[in-house]
Structure 1
Amino acid sequence: MTTKEVVPEVGGATTSYAPSGARLPSLTALRIVAATLVFIHHSAFQPLFSDEGVQKVYNKLAYNIGPISITFFFVLSGFVLTWTAKPLDTAKQFWRRRFVKIFPSHLVVYAIVLVLMLLAGRAVPWPEALVSLGLLQAWVPSNDYLLFAINPPTWSLSIELLFYLCFPLLLILVNRIRPSRLWLYAGLAAVAGLLLVPAVSWLFLPDSPSMSAVSPFSWPQLWFNYFFPVTRMFEFLGGMILAKILLTGRWPNVRPLFTVVLLVVTWAATLPLPLNLFEGGYHALFIMPIALVITAAAAADIAGRRTLFNSRGMVWLGEISYTFYLVHVAVLFSLQAAFNHQWGVGGMFLGDFTSRPFGTVAAIAFLVGAYLACVLVGWVVYALVERPAMRRWARPRGARPAGTTSAST
């Protein structure tokens, strides 16, 4: 195990920190937090509550959670991969591990959903299906390629793949930042994502067709701001820089609870704003609060403090979070379709039904049951596909396994 070092912090305080590779179970656990937020967001795509007032409140809460969850994933990926980077690792080895992590489970879930669609007699949009097979759909400036992919949530993996491709070069650049300027660059990453990207879309992209009568953004602008892989790189960079801040001992002694409260307050303060503002580029408001939550949780692990994030149950859920994410829409919408007396894959993306709403208590029970079903199916895919694939193909045959890592993405 790597020996811990004591490094002076800003303000004269000291903190015990470990070089990259130290175990950070909280970062594994935080993945299920982000995945759960995505589940809540998508659960509002069909009416669940027969009480219209309750449904309206739920929609407001759930819809605005969506942009937070995606930013959470991206910042967390940047942080974890920077923390676990090893000096002797090659780009080829890194890309191999990322490919094996992402594609086997994606292909298995894709095939299952495709078969269910065919058995249910649903039309398959083949251009969109083939593009999403290669996880390239976010590069296409057409809403059809996002909504009618075989497994729609995988659009975010298009962005992850670009980050993986660029990570070896980005790490070289981030490592060249002087430690005294890391906080400055972290702020610049957040501000650039918040101001530069929307400004470019406003100035250079057409203002039609409009997304809706109340949306200030056209579809080209929204796609550029929210779905285009290149413009989401600021979130990864924010996570990378915060990891370097912790590694160089420049993280102040901030408890995770404070950062969580800050994130919740930021979310609550933005609730009156329409969702399309966040999808139009202002999701970057959450880069720094999310990065602070992640860094504070990592610092608590290094200090040996017990928190909810590094509890055994949360870490286990974090380990299956990727497969949970892959299956959650298919499972959720299939269950909603079943209550509407339909068989097979259904839902807003893959079917044409309108979900039957429940009473308030029954709707909550349905949500809990659907979530547990997603956990179960996600665990099955993790146990039968992701974990065996990583053991078999993540490293060349005969290669000696690397040391214990802090978290996986």
Structure 2
Amino acid sequence: MTAKEVEPPMTAKEVAPEVGGATALRAPFATRLPSVTALRIVAATLVFIHHSTFQPLFSDQGVQKVYNMLAYNIGAISITFFFVLSGFVMTWSAKPTDTAKQFWWRRFVKIFPSHLVVCAIVLFLVFLAGRAVPWREALVSVGLLQAWVPSNEYLLFAINPPTWSLSIELLFYLCFPLLLIPVSRIRPSRLWLYAWLTAAGGLLLVPGISWLFLPGAAPDSPFSPFSWPQMWFIYFFPVTRMFEFLGGMILARILMTGRWPSVRTWHTAVLMVAVWAATLPIPGNLFDGVYRSLFIMPIALLITAAAAADVAGRRTLLSSRGMVWLGEISYTFYLVHVTVFFSLQAALNSQWGVGGMFLGDFTSRQYGTVAAFAFIVVAYLATALAAWLVYALVERPAMRRWARPRRARPAASASASTRTA
């Protein structure tokens, strides 16, 4: 998810003759996608806003209700965004000379060092706060295995609750080298058909299986109209989230093969907002379970349009230096946002909020409308600062030190020695 998949910038791109009115790329990995990198912070910001509803901030209950209504569904949308984005960028940046082992190692180096450091910090804060640690759940979440466990406690009472989505991303990483083979063999003329079938699979097939084969909801189920097994299967089970990942892979191939029409980024952004507004009346659990899949195609279209703008060399707000920088720290932003936000919220009420909205168990202090929005902005800036520190001190050094194959370094040294001699 949430990992930064875009390869380092390269100076040239190879292009083939026009296909279907667009340009087909022979070497897409040679083209930087700054706008796609920037879209990561957009998705991470939506998650941040969604989680800010878990402890009430507004003293005006009417304002809080409207804020909750507007912010709730964007949490599920942003997770779908991350999953589609991963499929797109991995396919776009895949190198023919890369091996599965090299790919998996880069993903491991990208994900785990920052994840483990943040977990260690949270555990230390929990210790300082004198709170009990649910060690079983914590150990499972440290290993990023929590989404495989059909228990709500392993998802909500983890040391860093948002990392459940990373356990799904790990499945994507594991399967990508194998999935790339059949996806690359789809005929260009059939790519759009497969893209729509993938979206339909997420919208219809997964909920249909859960309703047919898993026990239904009790009258007092908090996940109504679903039971917990149904909700876990639809929303948290890594295998059923493969539709989003595959959708991103197929849309990357559509752009690579020149099948992308002349659609601008703002067109797809308007479509996204329109679908979001139309789905606001849908109850939260029903949206999470079924209707979030409506966003697979709008999200895929937005990502592809942004990538097409980068390929065409068009400058946009997304490709600005500030947005790209925020996109680069988006993974660590995602890792730290719950801890920073709820720790600040609790501290202003002289309490500990460490462990997030579930483990922290604090009483939220409420503010007037302007002050509440000011707090959200300050907490966002503090999260960005903490994310930059983890990125600069952990993620970037780890990638520079360990991400490249070891055999490349002796080869480079030998070449330098030959030139010196």
Measured in 2, the distance between the counterparts of 1:172 and 1:151 equals: 35
Measured in 1, the distance between the counterparts of 2:148 and 2:127 equals: 26
Measured in 2, the distance between the counterparts of 1:18 and 1:211 equals: 56
Q: Aligned residues: percent identity?
A: 78
- 2:146 aligned with 1:115, yes or no? no
**Contact 2:159–2:355 under 8 Å retained in 1:** no
Aligned to 2:34: 25
**Contact 2:23–2:257 under 8 Å retained in 1:** no
Aligned to 2:279: 270
Map of 1:147-186 to 2, 5 A cutoff? 147-186=156-195
**Contact 1:141–1:223 under 8 Å retained in 2:** yes
1:228 to 228, 237, 258: 237
Deviation digits for residues 184-230 of structure 1, max 9, x if unmatched? 00001000010000000000001145673682101100000000000
Aligned to 2:413: none
Aligned to 1:62: 71
Give the 3-state SS of the residue equivalent to 1:368 in structure 2.
helix
Query: How far does residue 26 in structure 1 lie from its aligned partner after superposition?
Result: 0.8
Measured in 2, the distance between the counterparts of 1:334 and 1:30 equals: 27
2:301 to 279, 282, 292: 292
Measured in 2, the distance between the counterparts of 1:302 and 1:316 equals: 19
Give the 3-state SS of the residue equivalent to 2:350 in structure 1.
coil
Query: How far does residue 253 in structure 1 lie from its aligned partner after superposition?
Result: 0.6
Query: How far does residue 344 in structure 1 lie from its aligned partner after superposition?
Result: 5.7
Map of 1:61-210 to 2, 5 A cutoff? 61-208=70-217
Letter in 2 for 1:232: R
- Normalised TM-score (structure 2): 0.92
Letter in 1 for 2:75: G
Measured in 1, the distance between the counterparts of 2:313 and 2:250 equals: 23
Query: How far does residue 5 in structure 1 lie from its aligned partner after superposition?
Result: 1.5
**Contact 2:24–2:257 under 8 Å retained in 1:** no
- 2:315 aligned with 1:310, yes or no? no
Residue 71 to residue 211, structure 1, CA distance change in 2 (3 Å): farther
2:14 to 4, 14, 25: 4
Gap runs ≥5 in structure 2: 1-10, 411-421
Measured in 2, the distance between the counterparts of 1:277 and 1:250 equals: 34
Count residues with an aligned counterpart: 399
Measured in 2, the distance between the counterparts of 1:3 and 1:354 equals: 55
Residue 273 to residue 99, structure 1, CA distance change in 2 (3 Å): same
Map of 1:357-372 to 2, 5 A cutoff? 357-372=366-381
Query: How far does residue 60 in structure 1 lie from its aligned partner after superposition?
Result: 0.7
Deviation digits for residues 139-175 of structure 1, max 9, x if unmatched? 0001000110000000000100000000000000100
**Contact 2:72–2:284 under 8 Å retained in 1:** yes
Letter in 1 for 2:296: I
Deviation digits for residues 367-404 of structure 1, max 9, x if unmatched? 00000000000000000000000011112324169xxx
Measured in 2, the distance between the counterparts of 1:373 and 1:358 equals: 19
Gap runs ≥5 in structure 1: 402-409
Give the 3-state SS of the residue equivalent to 1:348 in structure 2.
helix
Deviation digits for residues 17-64 of structure 1, max 9, x if unmatched? 562211111111010011000000000001011111100000011111
Residue 7 to residue 358, structure 1, CA distance change in 2 (3 Å): farther
**Contact 2:160–2:356 under 8 Å retained in 1:** no
Residue 89 to residue 209, structure 1, CA distance change in 2 (3 Å): farther
Runs of 4+ displaced beyond 3 Å? 1-4, 14-18, 208-214
Measured in 1, the distance between the counterparts of 2:145 and 2:14 equals: 41
RMSD: 1.5
Letter in 1 for 2:62: G
Aligned to 1:391: 400
Measured in 2, the distance between the counterparts of 1:123 and 1:209 equals: 32
